[in-house]
Structure 1
Amino acid sequence: MQNIRNITDKILWVGASDRRLHLFENMFPVPDGVAYNSYVILDEKTAIMDTADSSVTRQYLENLTAALGGRQPDYLVVNHMEPDHCADIAELARLYPSMQIVGNQKTFGLMNQFYNMDLEGRTVVVKEGDVLDLGEHKLTFVMAPMVHWPEAMMSYESTHKILFSADAFGSFGALDGAVFNDENLDPHGLHSELRRYYSNIVGKYGMQVQAVLKKAAGLEISMICPLHGPIWREDLGWLLDKYQKWSSYTPEENTVAIFYGSMYGNTAEAADLLAGKLTAAGVKGVTVRDVSKTDVSYLISDVFRASHLVLAAPTYNNGLYPKMANFIEDMKALNVQNRTVSIIENGSWAPQSGKIMRAMLGEMKDMTVLEKSLTVRSALKEDQLAVLDEMTAEILASLNK
């Protein structure tokens, strides 16, 4: 049975959700699944906006067939060639032999890599500012390279002022019937999953996102239709503000996120004590994460949220505790910058972890490491509580700048 929602009387959502998927891109946990959005514009000429992942092909094709109502689509617009959105291109090309495929030059380069398709006479190559006239609806193409693939583009429908935004403004999580963000009890689109999606999938490409936001500022937008997560028709200003912060690596909140690695609980104890002191001093929104237990995608999301980070880890094989090393490497890979960091190290005979963490942070842009740090030798001692008090005072002074 088809599952279709009207965005307008002539623009339909024909996507589907996958709740069986455990790992998005076989890396990121998605306990609430993920949605794959596709859209159909019915006009003098009919356009399909992207396809879906192979895991939902049956539902997707049922939705699409019902939405078309016997019409042959004139165009398939491919805003993004990642397999979770392009898996059904070859099947649609077979089902609709007169359908032309719209994309930019890089789109078709990737398409030829993924598929052995005869595209002769079936392609419409577009560039920045080109317009596809469907009748009442007109699509203007906005190139969005490296947000987050080189061929990515967006399509702006000028009649209803709708931006089909590809992976930008997307979110983890199945839709659970709430296709529009204001249909959910959390109208901000499950904020934490929106941030986790951005920070891990797009986070590295802040400069490129900034360039696209400048283009979007010149458009009058009433609705944003991403390829994952809810369609945004309310609180667009809130959403754009979050993207402005995240893409400029501006902390979302003036607070502290504490990350620790601990083999036997001693480093964890120091992290918990510091969290308690900060909270007692009035800092709101403090989080404490075990880097060994918490998936790194959640850790990265906390990094994009908080202005101040605390890294606490033991020395391991005369190096840095591996889970903490992996976490910092992931921060580097995602271009994290503009954060203030405090360090706690542990080592029973030759503490090295603090030195290594400082060196790794030194390879990142605009990372300020505070002077006060704590060295634990095996277990925290009573006389070291004063050092935690000093660290707390230094973090508070930095927060209040």
Structure 2
Amino acid sequence: MAAPPSIAPETYWVGVNDHETDLFEALWPLPYGVSYNAYLVVDHKVALIDAVKGHFLADHLHRIRQVLPPGKSVDYLIINHMEPDHTGAIQILRSVFPDMTLVGNKKTLEMLEAFYGACPPCRQVGDGDVLDLGAHKLQFSLTPMVHWPETMMTFDATTGVLFSGDAFGGFGTVDQGLFDDEIDRELMHGEMLRYFTNIVARYGKMVLKAVDKLRDVPFRVVAPTHGAVWRKDPSLPVRLYERWSAQETDPTVVVAYGSMYGNTYRLAEAAARALTERGFTPFVHDVARTHASFVIADIWTSKGLILACPTYNTGLFPPMETLLAFLENKLLQHRLLGLITSYAWAGGARKALESFAERMSLEVVEPIVDVKGAGTADDLERCALLAANLAQRLSA
């Protein structure tokens, strides 16, 4: 195993890459894997900042031992976030380093006992508290609900490294490049967006509060618990999370459709074609075949959204219902919404989509297209008109 990379003086990445887990949180696909980033600061006292998922403890321990000087042990484990993908190794780490003190805020320590039982010795820290390692001074900043109530960040005032926990992270492993100047930026940007929208988006207002707390912090490196370490452009992940948390959008459109026999697809196709003719290249997703995590990511950055859905048992086509439930949970706002529905003998999809729009306070662009059967040439024209009206609004 190669020597752990240094991200700053006396500061090392001792995390692991996971190519084995198919679904993050048993929900979100990981086509490019995921990293569990942990960091070791070696000073008069040694601090491990975050840990890894329990399954990967062997690699984690090996990396720690590679950089621990002879005779040294780990004095502190700083827990920025309690979720088991960062704390699953705690009990075994404590058996390897029996004198290691667990460091966290009040809510962290409460959760520790709930997950792992009593874990003394522990040290409770508050907002602004400092842990002195020697030359390195670690300052704690509480950032609750980003995305659990105990989340916090740790800033090394000596090196300028911000250990940001789950904030500013993304899906994807870092075995082909740990730093932002080594990675495929386009791929990492997409996996960051998908991570944010699926894991963090519901708590956007709390992310914005966390970003405000960082305005006067002179960080030079951002080291999250998932994804790339940002050293060349450390403010970029902060700016992206701020933009996504504020639900700022581009003048783009997502056409998300479900179709059992191809009839609703033809309606969605007519709308997509009309958008293209007006200079908009829509993101088109079949909700039955594209995992919701990818659809949500495109929706999150698009001002326009067209939902095309057949009635199924007097309600919504189930994959569309699942997508809308996710969007509602994530508190989607500020979108222009087009609605296309179809039915065979009794409607229901239109009413359900209109109810969704009302609950989410989304502006519906006319006309609403509700089609009985396969649809006529006039129905296709109405879909094109809907798309034209949406394009006009986006261009205004």
What is the TM-score of this pair, normalised by structure 1?
0.95
Q: CA deviation at 1:199?
A: 0.5
Residue of structure 2 equivalent to 1:239: 237
Asked if the contact 1:2/1:59 (under 8 Å) is kept, the reply is no
Label 1:194 to 1:93 Cα distance change in 2 as closer, same or farther (>3 A).
same
Q: State the Cα deviation string for residues 77-127 of structure 1 (Å, max 9, x = none).
A: 1111100000111112221222211100111111111113441xx111001
Deviates more, 1:321-330 or 1:34-43: 321-330
Is 1:287–2:286 an aligned residue pair?
no
Q: Per-residue CA shift, 1:150-174, capped at 9, x if unaligned?
A: 1110001112211100001111111
Structure 1 residue 351: deviation in Å? 2.6
Partners of 2:208 and 2:190 lie apart in 1 by: 21
Structure 1 residue 385 displacement after superposition: 3.1
SS of structure 1 residue aligned to 2:293: helix
Q: Deviations over 1:286-325 (max 9, x none)?
A: 1110111111111111111211100000111111212111
Counterpart residue type for residue 332 of structure 2 = V
SS at match of 2:155: strand
Counterpart check, 1:348 vs 2:337:
no
Mind listing any 5+ residue stretches in structure 1 that lack a counterpart? none
Which residue among 335, 340, 343 is the counterpart of 1:339? 335
Is the Cα–Cα contact under 8 Å of residues 9 and 159 in structure 2 kept in the other structure?
Answer: no
1:78 and 2:76 correspond: no
**Counterpart for residue 18 of structure 2:** 18
Amino acid of the structure 2 residue aligned with 1:73:
V
For 2:165, what is the secondary structure of its paired residue?
Answer: coil
For 1:189 and 1:111, the matched residues in 2 are separated by 35
Q: Distance in 1 between matches of 2:119 and 2:242?
A: 41
Is the CA contact 1:181–1:189 (under 8 Å) kept in the aligned structure 2? no
Counterpart of 1:259 in 2: which secondary structure? strand
Map of 2:147 onto structure 1: 148
Distance 1:283 1:118 in 2: 56
CA contact (8 A) 2:259 2:310 kept: yes
Aligned-pair identity (%): 37
- Using the TM superposition, give the Cα deviation of residue 176 of structure 1 relative to its aligned residue in structure 2, in angstroms: 2.5
Answering whether residue 355 of structure 2 is matched by residue 359 of structure 1, we say yes
- Indicate conservation of the 8 Å contact 1:90/1:117, yes or no: no
Q: CA, structure 1 residues 237+50, in 2 after alignment: closer, same or farther (shift >3 Å)?
A: closer
In 2, the alpha carbon distance for the partners of 1:53 and 1:291 equals 31
Work out whether 1:311 is the aligned partner of 2:307. Answer: yes
The yes-or-no answer on 1:159 pairing with 2:158 is: yes
Kept after mapping to 2: 8 A contact 1:53/1:86: yes
1:380 has 2:380 as partner? no
Deviation at 1:242, TM superposition (A): 1.6
CA distance in 2, matches of 1:28, 1:193: 11
Q: CA RMSD in A?
A: 1.4
| CA–CA separation in structure 2 for the residues paired with 1:126 and 1:239 | 26
Aligned 1:40-119 pairs, distance under 5 A:
40-70=40-70, 71-119=72-120
CA-to-aligned-CA distance 1:341-377 (integer Å, 9 cap, x gap):
000000122232112101022111x411112121222
Other-structure match for 2:392: 397
Structure 1: which amino acid aligns with 2:115? Answer: F
Distance 1:325 1:118 in 2: 43
**CA, structure 1 residues 118+396, in 2 after alignment: closer, same or farther (shift >3 Å)?**
closer
- Does the Cα contact within 8 Å between 2:136 and 2:158 map onto a contact in 1? yes
Distance 1:218 1:358 in 2: 44
Distance in 2, matches of 1:19 and 1:246, equals 27
User: For the residues of structure 1 that align with 2:247 and 2:4, how far apart are their CA atoms?
Assistant: 37
Tell me the matched-pair count: 395
- Structure 1 residue 185: Cα displacement: 3.1
Partner amino acid, structure 2, of 1:341: L
Give 1:263 shift. 0.4
- Shift in Å at residue 386 of structure 1? 2.5
Instruction: Output the amino acid matched with 1:11.
Output: T
| Alignment-derived partner of residue 206 in structure 1 | 204
Q: Which residue identity lines up with residue 18 of structure 1 in the other structure?
A: D
- Normalised by the length of structure 2, the TM-score is 0.96
After TM superposition, give the deviation of residue 189 of structure 1 in Å: 6.1
The alpha carbon displacement at 1:225 in A equals 0.3
Q: How does 1:290-301 map to 2 (within 5 A)?
A: 290-301=286-297
Structure 2 CA distance for aligned equivalents of residues 239 and 96 of structure 1: 34
Q: What amino acid does structure 1 have at the position aligned with 2:259?
A: S
State the shift of 1:39 in Å: 0.3
Contact 1:2/1:62 (CA < 8 Å) preserved in 2? Answer: no
Q: Give the one of 258, 262, 282 matched to 1:261.
A: 258
In the other structure, the counterpart of 1:218 is: 216
Instruction: For residue 386 of structure 2, give the secondary structure of its aligned residue in structure 1.
Output: helix
C-alpha distance after superposition, 1:128-179 (max 9, x if no partner): 0001111221111010111111111000111221110000111111112301
What SS does the corresponding residue of 1:190 show, helix, strand or coil? helix
CA contact (8 A) 2:257 2:264 kept: yes
Shift of the alpha carbon at 1:2? Answer: 5.3
Q: Give, in whole Å, the separation in 2 of the partners of 1:49 and 1:296.
A: 33
Conserved? CA contact 2:340–2:383, under 8 Å: no
- Farther off after superposition, 291-300 or 379-388: 379-388
* Residue of structure 1 in register with 2:28 after alignment: 28
